[in-house]
Amino acid sequence: MDHATPLEQALHAARALVLADLVAGEVAEADVVSLVEDSVTHRRWWVEQWPEGVDYLAGLVAQDVQDALLEKYGRWPLCPVCSQGDPHALDVEPELGPDPHWVCAKTVVKVAPVGGLAAVFGAGGGR
Ligand SMILES: [Zn+2]
């Protein structure tokens, strides 16, 4: 029973990347994980309408989860570059494109690829 299509593989990869970032930010609680599942369900429908968008799934799921978290929990992921001033969330760039990254819009710094936040938040430990 293993017949994963490229589309399912891409959805699976997007889910894994965003979950990794949620774990890195220590917000991967059960109800947050369900936000990821909601997004993956929605994006499965979306990419079936528009198969060319398959490379954009990771960035889109990341943004879906970011939006959902903003309503429930607040900004995520917080920018690790700007240590002063009001905390702000990182943006996904490109919003609709392959190879998405978390970017600090204030300093125009590429912080990490989507799925790579553990390397940023994991390093250095407590504050
Ligand atoms: Zn910043």
Ligand 1 mean position, distance from CA 35 (Å):
25
On the question of pLDDT at 126 being above 80, the answer is: no
Distance 101 CA to ligand 1 centre (A): 14
CB within 8 A of 125, min separation 6: which ones? none
Determine the pLDDT at residue 127: 45
Cα of 23 to ligand 1 centre, how many Å? 20
- 102 backbone dihedrals φ, ψ, rounded to 5°: -85, 125
What would the pLDDT profile of 63-115 be if each residue is shown by its tens digit?
Answer: 999 999 998 889 999 999 998 888 899 999 999 999 999 999 999 999 999 99
Residues with beta carbon < 5 A to ion ligand 1?
79, 81-82, 104, 106
Task: State yes or no: pLDDT of 22 exceeds 60.
Answer: yes
Q: How confident is the model at residue 1 (pLDDT cuts 50, 70, 90)?
A: low
Cα of 44 to ligand 1 centre, how many Å? 31
